[in-house]
Structure 1
């Protein structure tokens, strides 16, 4: 069973933050058609912010590095992160508006999503590099994703490497990555579809490019751990059985859980198990951030798994 997280692991998340504008409709409109909304709501999202909230919930000292606008949404988004226990001193306030995601949801559960990146695409490599170089932290795991520019992600990777820290990259939305970035990634966490969108024919190609390990998430089928360090090929870690409400935030919860466990000193397989348990808890709630996470709940779920093994 994975070791429980140390009380003071540090996770630094370099990524996106959005205001999610949720619009419920009876049915999705056709091209040129106007429909009337049944209800609307605003929630906070963005892969980076979701991962930061999850890591903080799992007991890590969590520092978020990103960009928001000088608008009221930017202020409200930072207040939301602070309430979740996330350190936001590494966030840049820029002239572009805070990122938004416009989500139409119909009665059948289908949706249409339009993302306006806004400030997320203004996150600069210089800002990321400056924040990571000056953090008063001895050791950390850095987490990033692809909802911010490639040069910002590469700056996170190079600054982390210079300090001897590991980078966990959740490659969504997937795109072909620069070879110099792949070579600096300690753990890549794509889903099965994203592997091919990264410009690789297989996980073996990603490992050959210098990526330390690839953990492929497969939803209800669990995760596959590839690291080239152990004989016998990849290891399949099964998903944990729970009553699923909403799978939207599963990948972010998994990546955060894996990072927190690595920052606590866990081995890769144990960290992946911890991430799997975090994702299992997240999908029992609705929305991009799912059910609230805490380390005690994760440990209890893993204990139940061990007892039933």
Structure 2
């Protein structure tokens, strides 16, 4: 990690604390049943990880974006970092260590649905100290985004430090695992999908966050603030691959919040971002831009 502060700009920033993976994707006619072997039709290696995907999407939407994470000293790590640099993500706070870069194995069927298995690798080494060091060097206003592909201590520190700085904290609770009450209470917006919402205990557990936004794919999403529930329809899409759609949604939400948009408007911006992300192969294969999102919003 660079010891030079990313300081030098007090422009508002998205700071993502999260994972960096190499995605190994196989296209199959349908998702296999347990114990079943299917013949795939295509294989590709692409750069992913929820943290890296969220950072790449935020940068594509025009936000100053920094990523806090870790990769291995290997080809997958080098490739991941080169891709992030090209996409305009500041990687000054990405550590390069002894563990291998994280890996995700993805199956995508003819309907663009997917299953994903991950091996954490270097992502498991992301520490609370790394997070605090990074956030302490950020000047100006920020929205901090995190997910659960890095250790709990790193996520909890991101929430604590964001709260102390008066910054919004957006948590994408995937892959779902039990969350501490303190973490939920420090969260500005939590963005589970419908399955994660149920697994995590629903509104009874997640209601301590300022807002819950439950994504439901083609069925749109729900905004829960206290006892109030608002349904936001899905943006139009021509899906090719849903991998990374939730990451683009979370990034779009964070960018919109950074710009001061009301939550309802921020969720609509996020929904359009997520819809566009399904229209290309892999997590970052779609042409996600601010102009594309604004145009998609204009269609509704």
In structure 1, C-alpha distance between the alignment counterparts of 2:83 and 2:116, rounded to whole Å: 22
Aligned to 2:268: 273
Q: Quick one: structure 1 residues 10 and 36, their matched pair in 2 at CA, closer, same or farther if it must change by over 3 Å?
A: same
Aligned to 2:87: 84
Give runs of aligned pairs for residues 60-71 of structure 1, distance below 5 A: 60-71=63-74
Q: Answer yes or no: is 1:172 the counterpart of 2:174.
A: yes
Contact residue 218 and residue 234 of structure 2 kept, 8 A: yes
Alignment partner of 2:47: what SS? strand
Q: Deviations over 1:138-192 (max 9, x none)?
A: 1010010001111110011111111111110000001110111111100000011
Aligned to 1:224: 222
1:99 to 102, 117, 124: 102
2:229 to 221, 227, 234: 234
Contact residue 187 and residue 214 of structure 1 kept, 8 A: yes
In structure 1, C-alpha distance between the alignment counterparts of 2:239 and 2:111, rounded to whole Å: 17
Q: Quick one: structure 1 residues 71 and 279, their matched pair in 2 at CA, closer, same or farther if it must change by over 3 Å?
A: same
Aligned to 2:6: none
Alignment partner of 2:77: what SS? helix
1:284 to 263, 279, 292: 279
Give runs of aligned pairs for residues 250-269 of structure 1, distance below 5 A: 250-269=245-264
Aligned to 1:203: 203
Q: Answer yes or no: is 1:150 the counterpart of 2:152.
A: yes
Aligned to 2:3: none
Q: Quick one: structure 1 residues 280 and 161, their matched pair in 2 at CA, closer, same or farther if it must change by over 3 Å?
A: same
In structure 1, C-alpha distance between the alignment counterparts of 2:159 and 2:49, rounded to whole Å: 20
TM-score (norm. length: structure 1): 0.86
Structure 1 residue 109: Cα displacement: 6.9
Structure 1 residue 25: Cα displacement: 6.6
Contact residue 9 and residue 260 of structure 1 kept, 8 A: no
Structure 1 unaligned segments of length 5 or more: list them.
1-7
2:50 to 37, 47, 52: 47
Structure 2 unaligned segments of length 5 or more: list them.
1-10
Q: Quick one: structure 1 residues 113 and 138, their matched pair in 2 at CA, closer, same or farther if it must change by over 3 Å?
A: closer
Q: Deviations over 1:185-219 (max 9, x none)?
A: 00000011111211x2x314422xx3111011111
Contact residue 249 and residue 290 of structure 1 kept, 8 A: no
Contact residue 256 and residue 269 of structure 2 kept, 8 A: yes
Q: Answer yes or no: is 1:294 the counterpart of 2:289.
A: yes
Aligned to 1:190: 192
Deviates more, 1:250-259 or 1:288-297: 288-297
RMSD between aligned residues: 2.4
Alignment partner of 2:175: what SS? coil
Contact residue 190 and residue 211 of structure 2 kept, 8 A: yes
TM-score (norm. length: structure 2): 0.88
Alignment partner of 1:234: what SS? strand
Aligned to 1:5: none
